[in-house]
Structure 1
Amino acid sequence: MSASDQTGRPRVPTSGRDVTELVPTGLRVSAALSWRFIVVIAGLYVIAWVAGYLSQLIVPVAIALLLAALMAPGVDRLVRWGVPRWVAAVIVMVAGIAVVGGLLTFVIITFIVGLPDLQAQIVASLDRLRDWLTTGPLHMRAEQIQNVIDDAIDAIQENQAAITQGAITTATTIGQILTGFLLTVFILVFFLYDGPGIWKFVTRGVPARVRDRVDVAGRSGFAALVSYVRATAAVALVDAVGIGIGLAIVGVPLVIPLSALVFLAAFVPIIGAVIAGAVAMLVALVANGFIPAIVVLAIVIGVNQLEAHILQPVLLGRAVRLHPLAVVFAIGAGLIAAGIAGALLAVPLLAILNASVRSLLSEEHTEPENIEVQHDDGQPPPDRPDDTNATSSP
């Protein structure tokens, strides 16, 4: 007579049988999700490690792609006007370098010219601070103030070796930046001249049955990048003009260099404006005093609120379709993983991935409206209407 369980049903021997069905369904699902999650995390870790190891190559390529998104519409417009593509690429490159170089030169010259006034205001502010320390509620003696200054000088002298090593490290970093700049320019030339050909070569590594969908997804991602760069430039310009006008009204020195700093920092969403505003407030505090610094702080907060509640939702929201929380998480992850470069490139990368994944998951196999498909010679196909907003994908 066979053994039976408490319910009276005969027991089925489990030796030699697959006992998978005896494992609870919830546990099987959890285990399947767990090992897949571990594999995905391991893959992302390997990708992050490789990207960090090759950062001196990847960062110039990424920056060149951003600049290509900004300049490609100009190249395509010249091509539609009958200009050969290599000539159009050279014209746009030279014009871009001239504008950026002229802006930097103007900022540097303005900073050098305004430096004596800033130094005079700093000396006056320090004198006022010294008077407040001696005649104010602290009632410090002149000897105590001098002792504090002497201690600071002694600390600097004692750490002279570390300061020198830091200067050497800074010089090395400047050399790496110059090398990266030259590499970025070199890559940008090819992106502008033969962007469609480069992208076509990349898609050859994709299986033929999904090649068309991957091609459209890549073009959708580049279109999102173009929209992101344009919207970010518009937001940065508004920030720079608004804060610059406020600084000029308050009477803060070096208005133009500080406005240029605000413009450049605004390309790093959220934290860039905060850092640039903090620098402007610090200059106002040192050069003009406490009350003007509070006024500058109010101006910076007002401009940031304008950006956060109007410019970002209207311009960037429509351009890249990203939730503000996703932007914050992307910036934080990029900052932790790769510092300033990671914070700068995190949101554009997220915008590309978002647009590409949306395209791959879409029901219809259609091309983005603002992408102009080009032949290998860079000319648009004759049977499509002329689109003044068309861009090419690198």
Structure 2
Amino acid sequence: MSDTLSPRKTRAALRVSARVSGELLLVLAMAVVAVWALGRMWSVVWPLVVGLLLTTLTWPLARYLRRLGWPPALAASVVTVGFLVVALGVVALIAVPVASQSGELADGVVGGIQKVREWASGPPLNISDDQITGAFDSATARIQDSLGSMVTTVVTGVSTVVNGVVTAVLAVFLMFFMLKDGPKFLPWLARQLPGRFATDVPVVAERGWETLGGFVRSQAYVGLLDAVLIGLGLWIVGVPLVLPLAVLTFVSAFVPIVGALFAGFVAVLIALVSNGPTDALIVLAIIVLVQQLEGNVFQPMIQSRGLGLHAAVVLLAVTLGGSLAGIVGSLLAVPAAALAAVVWNYLREQLSEPVGEPETSDAGSVA
């Protein structure tokens, strides 16, 4: 029996491979164009995304009020105002206690710096005051030399803050309109689309909406879990401002990576200036432990149940999103992966053979 390759089958396989490769390249090119267009429209897309996420969080209350017979505009107005009141209350809950103890914190910072200097001047470092002063002078000289770049950084930071405020305002207005007119969107969309798209697109959009709601709820659960565990640890150690720090931890859970780092840094800093370096190290250990449990256990488990994604997919999506688009990519990676899964599952449903339908086969015609 000969093992030589069949020229006819080889040519057919090459033709199929070439066709599939060309189709894949076309799909990749379309994806690149879509990402480029998304980047060009990001100033509009980002407030829309934030408003959509806020709407998924506040829609259950608006839906409840509408079922009670409230007019859509009134229900949307009440929910929007209530959301703003809660958001401002959270800010006040964090800011007021910190401001009332700002004097103590400032004294603690000065005392902490003095303790660090005393520790550095003793064994095993034995760094003299002259060396420390020289290091401060050198740092001051470098800061003065880089004054121009610092001004540029400050201007960039101010611009970022302004853009953030504009994005927040637009997102709140968009949330109001989505709460008010959201149920009219899918019927309107079905009337605008031709043929089968009038059925398929609204179904996928409705499933995507439910998926986004699951994402926001899962993030809230994770943030609440972090806030309770870290707040309990801070209370046991005896760190002041436990409630504001717990609220800050909950809010920061909606901003992956940087939010956790920022909340942890604030907690460790307050522990350092109020309780000393030993308690600060204990607080740091507590935060690292909780964050490891969150990132490797709690968040994948909760999000995998809420979004229908495997825990490994959640971890890979966050890693890929962070490497491609930084903080925003990390924030949107999981809901984007869940929406892609929604589309894929719907396509599989439409392309699958119905149960019990006989499949055609050419096996009987082959000699």
| 1:248 lines up with 2:239 in the alignment | no
Partner of 2:72: 85
1:213 equivalent among 200, 216, 221: 200
Tell me the residue number matched to 2:183: 196
The 1:212/1:277 distance shift into structure 2, 3 A limit, reads same
Which residue in the other structure is 1:146 paired with?
Answer: 133
Paired AA for residue 212 in structure 1: T
The correspondence for 1:329, drawn from 316, 323, 329, is 316
Give the total of aligned pairs: 347
The C-alpha deviation readout for 1:291-332, integer Å capped at 9, x for no partner, is 323322332233235435664355322210112332233223
Aligned counterpart, 1:3: none
Tell me the alpha carbon deviations over residues 125-150 of structure 1, each in whole angstroms, 9 at most, x when there is no partner. Answer: 21111111212212222111111111
The separation in 1 between residues aligned to 2:224 and 2:337, in whole angstroms, is: 23
Residue of structure 1 aligned with 2:146, choices 159, 176, 185? 159
**What is the aligned-residue identity percentage?**
36
SS in 2 for 1:362: helix
Give the TM-score normalised by structure 2: 0.85
Offset of residue 184 of structure 1? 1.1
Partners of 1:139 and 1:301 lie apart in 2 by 31
Which protein has greater RCO, CA pairs closer than 8 Å, 6+ apart? 1
2:256 and 2:327 in contact (8 A); partners too? no
- Give the partner amino acid of 1:293: A
Q: Residue 208 of structure 1 aligns to a residue in which SS?
A: coil
Match of 1:303 in 2: 290
Select 1:32's aligned residue among 9, 15, 19.
19
2:196 match: secondary structure: helix
Contact (CA 8 Å) 1:236, 1:262: kept in 2 or not?
Answer: yes
Alignment of 1:152-301 (within 5 A): 152-269=139-256, 272-273=259-260, 276-281=263-268, 283-285=270-272, 288-301=275-288
Amino acid paired to 2:70 = V
Cα gap change, 1:150 to 1:279, in 2 (>3 Å): same
Mean alpha-carbon deviation: is it higher for 23-32 or for 343-352? 23-32
Q: Give a deviation string over 1:328-384, Cα, whole Å, max 9, x none.
A: 3322333344332222122122223323432343369xxxxxxxxxxxxxxxxxxxx
Q: State the Cα RMSD in Å.
A: 2.7
Q: Is the 8 A contact 1:220 1:355 kept in 2?
A: yes
Return the offset for 1:74: 0.9
Q: Which amino acid aligns with 2:116?
A: L
1:180 partner letter = T
Contact kept? 2:219, 2:254, Cα under 8 Å: yes
Cα distance, 1:100 vs. partner? Answer: 0.6
Normalized per residue, the structure richer in helix is: 2
- Aligned counterparts of 2:340 and 2:154: Cα–Cα separation in 1: 39
Q: Which residues of 2 match residues 24-63 of structure 1 at below 5 A?
A: 24-63=11-50
- Report what 1:383 is aligned to: none
The separation in 2 between residues aligned to 1:54 and 1:336, in whole angstroms, is 21
Quick check: 1:115 aligned with 2:102? yes
Task: State the alpha-carbon separation in 2 of the partners of residues 313 and 341 from structure 1.
Answer: 19
Q: Separation in 2 of the partners of 1:339 and 1:358?
A: 28
In structure 1, stretches of 5+ residues that fail to align are 1-6, 8-19, 365-394
CA separation in 2, counterparts of 1:257 and 1:336? 31
How many angstroms apart in 1 are the aligned matches of 2:198 and 2:310? Answer: 30
Name the counterpart of 2:364.
none
Cα offset for 1:162?
A: 1.5
SS for the counterpart of 2:125 is coil
Query: What does residue 346 of structure 2 align with?
Result: 359
Amino acid of the residue matched to residue 174 of structure 1? Answer: V
Summarize the alignment of residues 61-140 of structure 1 with structure 2, pairs less than 5 Å apart. Answer: 61-140=48-127
Go from structure 1 to structure 2 and tell me whether the alpha carbon gap of 1:308 and 1:332 turns closer, same or farther (over 3 Å shift): closer
Provide runs of 4+ in structure 1 moved above 6 Å.
none
Please, which runs of 5 or more residues in structure 2 have no aligned partner? Answer: 352-367
Equivalent position amino acid for 1:207 in 2: P
TM-score, scaled relative to structure 1: 0.79
Letter in 2 for 1:347: V
Residue aligned with 1:38, SS:
helix
